[in-house]
């Protein structure tokens, strides 16, 4: 898939103001979802320290790549760039996705889907999934189809309104879950001035 592209920093003009060793380092290509949560300092570093134009042009080829699922994750896991707010390896290679939850079903008859509806091996979320979605720690749930079950959207929105108004405590964020995530623990250490993360346990 990468047979005719150069994937070292110097070849794709990714970094500006980096050392010769960094510029000759090959990028590890990562894949995640197109929803991401990034620290503000990391986003600022992307604009201030990196040249994204050629990288985006390279992976923005619909015949070979999925730029929406590759771009940010690739930047996150290449920690040798030492960008502010960047997660250090090996955590960046195996951190849990906290942005989106998906119920996958690789069977042929969607028997594992509570809604008995399937699209591209992903269960369509009907009202049967509401108790599950309510208790999931991820921020988003995938996938909902209004033509299949609009009640899912209406009920979820009603629950969100009740939480926002304070009339329902149920559904509050479980902060301990997020505090245990390696990316959160790592950022706290860096914020406290600990930049030596060689002994950090994910």
In this prediction, residue 125 carries a pLDDT of 93
**Integer CA distances (angstroms), 120 to 19, 61, 64, in order:** 44, 21, 19
Residue 141 CB contacts under 8 Å (≥ 6 apart), including other chains: 100, 101, 102, 125, 129, 133
Compute the distance between CA of residue 99 and CA of residue 137 in angstroms, rounded to an integer: 9
Q: Is the pLDDT at 2 greater than 60, yes or no? A: no
Provide the pLDDT for residue 89. 61
Q: What is the pLDDT of residues 22-80, one digit of tens each?
A: 777 878 887 777 778 888 888 998 888 887 777 777 777 766 666 677 888 888 888 88
Percent share of the chain, pLDDT over 70: 76
Q: What is the pLDDT of residues 21-32, one digit of tens each?
A: 777 787 888 777
DSSP collapsed to 3 states, 81-106:
HCCCCCCCCCHHHHCCCCCEEECECC
For the record, the structure tokens of 70 come out as 């590759």
Residue 86: count other Cβ atoms within 10 Å of its Cβ. Answer: 25
pTM, to two decimals: 0.71
Kindly indicate the confidence band of residue 4, based on its pLDDT and cuts at 50, 70 and 90.
very low
Q: 3-state SS string over 165-202?
A: HCCCCCCCCCHHHHHCCHHHHHHHHHHCCCCCCCCCCC
The pLDDT of residue 128 is 92
């Amino acid at each position: 898939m990468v047979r005719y592209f150069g994937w070292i920093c110097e070849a794709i003009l990714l970094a500006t103001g980096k050392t010769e060793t960094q510029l000759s380092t090959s990028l590890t290509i990562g894949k995640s979802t197109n929803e991401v949560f990034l620290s503000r300092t990391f986003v600022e570093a992307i604009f201030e320290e990196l040249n994204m134009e050629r990288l985006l042009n390279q992976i923005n080829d619909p015949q070979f790549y999925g730029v929406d699922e590759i771009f940010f994750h690739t930047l996150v896991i290449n920690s040798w760039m030492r960008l502010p707010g960047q997660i250090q390896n090996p955590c960046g290679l195996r951190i849990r996705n906290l942005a989106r939850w998906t119920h996958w079903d690789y069977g042929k008859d969607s028997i594992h889907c509570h809604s008995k509806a399937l699209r591209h091996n992903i269960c369509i979320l009907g009202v049967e999934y509401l108790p599950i979605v309510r208790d999931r720690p991820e921020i988003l749930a995938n996938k909902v189809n209004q033509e299949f079950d609009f009640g899912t959207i209406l009920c979820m929105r009603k629950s969100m309104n009740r939480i926002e108004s304070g009339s329902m405590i149920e559904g509050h964020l479980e902060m301990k879950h997020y505090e245990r995530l390696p990316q959160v623990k790592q950022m706290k250490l860096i914020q406290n001035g600990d930049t030596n993360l060689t002994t950090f346990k994910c």
